[in-house]
Amino acid sequence: MIDIHSHILPGVDDGAEDMEETVLMAQAAVEEGIHTLIATPHHANGKYDNPMEKVERSVREVNRVLEQQNIPLTILPGQEIRLYSDLPEDLHQQVARTLHSSRYILIEFPSREIPKQTDELFHELRVMGLVPVIAHPERNMEIAQDPMKLQRIIQQGALSQVTTHSLNGLFGKSIQKLSLDMCKQHLVHFVSSDAHNMSHRAFGLRQAYAFIGNTLGDQQVRYYQANAARLIANEDISVLQPDWRKRAWWRFW
């Protein structure tokens, strides 16, 4: 399996504290059946800045340690980027970059709202040939209250990634149900761990895929797994028509 969103790099953000924890996380990933992981430390979120050069240095170091310890896991470089007005310029300067140098860029919204400049900045990204992937929209308060807002952004060409722990129930029943409904109505294109540590937020990818398989069917699992592979190969992602209104209609009746 491939995991496109994780905080496994040591000491760069609120993820793994040191190399020891990085190695423990890597072992846990392999035990679940993960062979490739994109490291996506926070960038420009007001607390952490992780320019790409620093990320790439850390990824090289971690891959070297994993190889020394015979842990069969490949780490690829990425960032989880908070939307900010200088992002297009920083992309030109290569301070900010996409996931594994693909066309896909992982964007984090603040937890309460959808930033006002989202439409404008996403438009600029598209002009640059990039595809924004919205990290864990189910944990954004404005989207959770009105998922049609996410649907509208997706219809303009963005993709979205739901977090395994949301599907697995770590953040409560309502986020779990919302996440599953989003998957069902095609508002989700990737399932990923956003793993931060070994204590309460490890991977849970196998469990999340099992949950999706049991509720929505194995075809849906294969769709997410294929999309993760396509992302790291920088290939087109197949997008199904999102249909949140249909769900609302059925609920109403």
CA 66 to chain centre: 23
SS3 252: helix
For residue 219, give every residue at least 6 positions away whose Cβ sits within 8 Å of its Cβ, in sequence order, or none: none
Residue among 185 and 196 whose Cβ is closer to Fe ion: 196
Separation between Cα atoms, residue 94 and residue 227, nearest integer Å: 25
CB of 241 to Fe ion, least distance (A): 28
Residue 21: in which H helix or E strand, if any? helix 19-32
CB of 164 to Fe ion, least distance (A): 12
Q: Does 13 bind Fe ion (CB under 5 A)?
A: no
Separation between Cα atoms, residue 57 and residue 22, nearest integer Å: 15
Q: Which of residues 76-95 bind Fe ion (CB under 5 A)?
A: 80
Separation between Cα atoms, residue 147 and residue 71, nearest integer Å: 40
Separation between Cα atoms, residue 3 and residue 22, nearest integer Å: 15
CB of 28 to Fe ion, least distance (A): 17
Q: Are 87 and 47 in contact (CB under 8 A)?
A: no
The contact pattern for Fe ion, residues 52-81, with x = CB under 5 A and - = no contact, is ----------------------------x-
80 strand-pairing partners: 42
Question: Closest CB to Fe ion belongs to which residue?
Answer: 194
Q: Which of residues 150-209 bind Fe ion (CB under 5 A)?
A: 194
CB of 208 to Fe ion, least distance (A): 15
Residue among 232 and 244 whose Cβ is closer to Fe ion: 232
Q: Which of residues 85-144 bind Fe ion (CB under 5 A)?
A: none
CB of 246 to Fe ion, least distance (A): 30
Residues forming contacts to Fe ion in the complex (CB under 5 A) are 80, 194
